[in-house]
Structure 1
Amino acid sequence: MADHGLMKRASERDDSFKTFVWNPQTKQFLGRTGSSWFKIGVFYIIFYACLAGFFAVMMAVFYQTLDTNHLPKYTPGDGGSLLKNPAMGFRPLPRAENVESTLIWYKNGDNDDIKHWVEQLNKFIEPYEGTSEVISGQHVTSCSEDKLPGPEEVCRFEDKWLSDKCQKAESWGYNRESPCILLKLNKMIKWVPKVYESLEELPDNMPQKLKDHIEAKMNENNGKIPKMIWVSCEGENPADQEYIGPIQYSPWQGFPAYYFPYMHTPGYLPPIVAVQFNQPMSNVLINIECRAWAKNIVHDRQNRLGLVHFELLKD
């Protein structure tokens, strides 16, 4: 008797579901007549068409605010940017497993150990090799203080300008106990350096060696200081300064001002400075800080503005 009742209720449920899907008496499909489905279909078509139209209008308004050259809305050049001070970067970078480290550590005379550092520099310098007249459709021109680039031009920078020892063919000095570090300023669109124009403008905390270098360059340049973002590298502590040894910069001890501002022009290659440490002390961890110098560059160790820190350890 119980089984018969269960079968009856199951049959009633099947009939009820079939009636819901299609009711031949009321001509309803899934609980709605044909006219009802037509009305709700028209409603949703109009609703989503209006939604899509509203989205398209908002996107069109948004794109009107963008620069056709893909420049950001606010830049250091117009005073609206939060970024007003450039930072510096260095190469080579540590291995992937020590991505947060700033330690350049290698074993002198071990080709397998220096391979990582040499390959890092080789990869970084690739865009600079064999710089041609046209890169990505943009004209590359030779620049100087008297010959600035045009609106659609970028200044040429070639790896051959670096010193003989800071070259790929010389393994960047890592096989000669004179390792090279490459420095560059981070790209900031429309940022223009305010260079030092007289010795009196040089800040008190600028290293004396750099001041002497600037004065020598001024004497070579008919009494005018070259328009440069100057660079200095020193040991952070007295012991580091003792162990670091002689330092050589190439092709200049700084970044020429005519490479700035960066305007997101295709083919632009930022200038680099090769810093060669000649015979740094072995088996000693040397803390090194390199600073960029211009009147509108602020040095902030905590936020790494205007400077870069790394350690050098040669076994």
Structure 2
Amino acid sequence: MAEKPVEQYYTRPPKLGKWEGFRTFMWNSETSQFFGRTGASWAKILLFYVLFYVSLLGFFFAMLAIFYQTIDLHTPKWQLENSLIGSNPGLGFRPMPPESNVESTLIWYRSSDSENYKYWVEELDKFLEVYRKPNTLTSGGENRQICDYTSDHKGEKVCDVMLSLFGNCTKENKYSYHRASPCIFLKINKIFNWIPDYYNDTESLPENMPKDLKTFIGTRSQNEMNTVWVSCEGENPADVENIGPIQYYPTHGFPGFYFPYKNLDGYLSPIVAVWFKRPTTGVLINIECKAWARNIHHDRQERRGSVHFELMVD
């Protein structure tokens, strides 16, 4: 007669306290497990993750290397009409209002209070710092040369911006803010390889170009005609009445020898200082400045080819 098998019953493991349970989890001498795994198990999972992340990192760098083979760090792949920014440059102005009022375009100060207009002067100092540094101290400064309308700079040199030509709009003169006749600086947006189609003859000037600009163009030599002209006007009849006389430094626009922008080392965007000689004080003046070339189209709603700001001097 076969022996009756011995029945075995499940024995509930002894109840351990919190500290004893944690010590057993850290190291179980009966199963040789450390934190719930044996040494072989930990080695396998560690090897898996090492191989996984090494493969992932290798794949990333391989894709990055392939990506860099398709681009040029100095020349954009998509240019002018084929790019997102297009071929119609806009204008920017400085100084800008404080970041706390980022959506504002109002320049408002009291000319009799040095602490009040101090912000605007310091903002212009910061903006012009890169233009003010000596060439030898500025990155790419040795790549700059002094240009004029007869210069031949088709090589790897770029044209310098000479702040000494900015008349009353200088740091030493506090940009005339203390005289209630502030200077506003305009810059044209950089578009790679964009070449202006100049208004370089008085016969083809557009009808809506300001008369004073047309008169100025008529006095220029043929070489000086190669300029992206700039004009600033009051937007409304009341603004035209209150804006007062205006003078531009160093000239009435952006000289053509700064174009095209090729992303060369040391390049500085050309700037124009607009000196508002005697704006009516205590009045908000809406001002629109435009850049003029045949291939610059103006759209007041989208601010294409122009910039708007308000000026109020107390």
Tell me if TM exceeds 0.5: yes
Supply the distance in 1 between the matched residues of 2:63 and 2:252 (Cα, whole angstroms): 50
For residue 4 of structure 1, what is the aligned residue in structure 2?
none
Matched, 1:206 2:205: no
Matched, 1:120 2:123: yes
- Residue among 56, 61, 71 paired with 1:51: 56
Supply the distance in 2 between the matched residues of 1:91 and 1:12 (Cα, whole angstroms): 72
Matched, 1:194 2:192: no
Matched, 1:87 2:86: no
Deviations 1:154-209 (A, max 9, x none): 1011110112x222222211222321111111222222222123233322221122
Letter in 2 for 1:192: I
User: 1:248 is paired with a residue of what secondary structure?
Assistant: strand
CA contact (8 A) 1:133 1:140 kept: no
Deviations 1:112-136 (A, max 9, x none): 2222222222222222225436742
- Residue among 151, 155, 158 paired with 2:159: 155
Letter in 1 for 2:206: P
Deviation (angstroms), 1:285:
0.9
Deviation (angstroms), 1:12:
11
User: 1:258 is paired with a residue of what secondary structure?
Assistant: helix
Instruction: Give the structure-1-normalised TM-score.
Output: 0.83
Supply the distance in 1 between the matched residues of 2:131 and 2:179 (Cα, whole angstroms): 24
CA contact (8 A) 2:288 2:308 kept: yes
Supply the distance in 1 between the matched residues of 2:251 and 2:54 (Cα, whole angstroms): 62
Deviations 1:200-241 (A, max 9, x none): 332222112211211121xxx1x5661011000000001110
User: 1:174 is paired with a residue of what secondary structure?
Assistant: helix
Matched, 1:66 2:65: no
User: 1:202 is paired with a residue of what secondary structure?
Assistant: coil
Deviation (angstroms), 1:80:
2.0
Deviation (angstroms), 1:273:
0.8
The 1:135/1:95 distance shift into structure 2, 3 A limit, reads closer
The 1:196/1:225 distance shift into structure 2, 3 A limit, reads farther
The 1:212/1:46 distance shift into structure 2, 3 A limit, reads same
Unaligned runs of 5+ in 2: 1-11
CA contact (8 A) 1:172 1:179 kept: yes
Deviation (angstroms), 1:303:
2.3
Supply the distance in 2 between the matched residues of 1:161 and 1:19 (Cα, whole angstroms): 79
For residue 3 of structure 1, what is the aligned residue in structure 2?
none
CA contact (8 A) 1:131 1:158 kept: no
Unaligned runs of 5+ in 1: 1-6
- State percent identity of aligned pairs: 49
Supply the distance in 1 between the matched residues of 2:22 and 2:278 (Cα, whole angstroms): 92
Deviations 1:73-128 (A, max 9, x none): 3232xx42121221111112223432321111122322222222222222222222
Q: Supply the RMSD in Å over aligned alpha carbons.
A: 2.9
Supply the distance in 1 between the matched residues of 2:231 and 2:22 (Cα, whole angstroms): 87
User: 2:312 is paired with a residue of what secondary structure?
Assistant: strand
